Amino acid sequence: MISLLHCLCLFLMLFVLGVISIILNDNLLSMFIGLEIIMNSISLLFVVIGNYWSHTDGQVMYVLSITLSAIESSIGLTLLIQYFRQTHTLNINKFSEIIE
């Protein structure tokens, strides 16, 4: 059986990896993938904590989180495709120029 400490270490590694991906990349798609990694790490934390306390609340929150993640992914990818069609780039610096 996997211990709570191992699961929390995995959560922390995935969360930090997602944050680093968002901070260090200029590409919108890479930042979007980093955001997905963060959301999945938080979902993992819900399941682990729910299992540790022997409650099903964590699994319910996981299903809710997966649903919200699917919605966020579909909307985000749609916006990225539209942005790419107009600018032919996914650079975040160009995105800032369009807003101004």
Domains of the chain plus CATH, in order, are: 27-95 (1.10.287.3510)
Could you read off the pLDDT tens digit of each residue along the chain, which spans 100 residues?
Answer: 788 999 999 999 999 999 999 999 989 999 999 999 999 999 999 999 999 999 899 899 999 999 999 999 999 999 999 999 988 988 888 877 766 6
In this structure, which long-range contacts are made by residues 43-47, counting pairs with CB atoms below 8 Å and at least 24 apart in sequence? 43/69, 44/7, 44/10, 44/11, 44/14, 45/8, 45/11
Please report the pLDDT score of residue 97 as a whole number.
Answer: 73
Note the helical H segments in the chain.
Answer: 4-24, 28-52, 57-87, 92-99
Handedness of CA 43, 15, 92, 100 (dihedral sign): positive
The pLDDT of residue 91 is 87
The pTM (predicted TM-score) of the whole model is 0.85
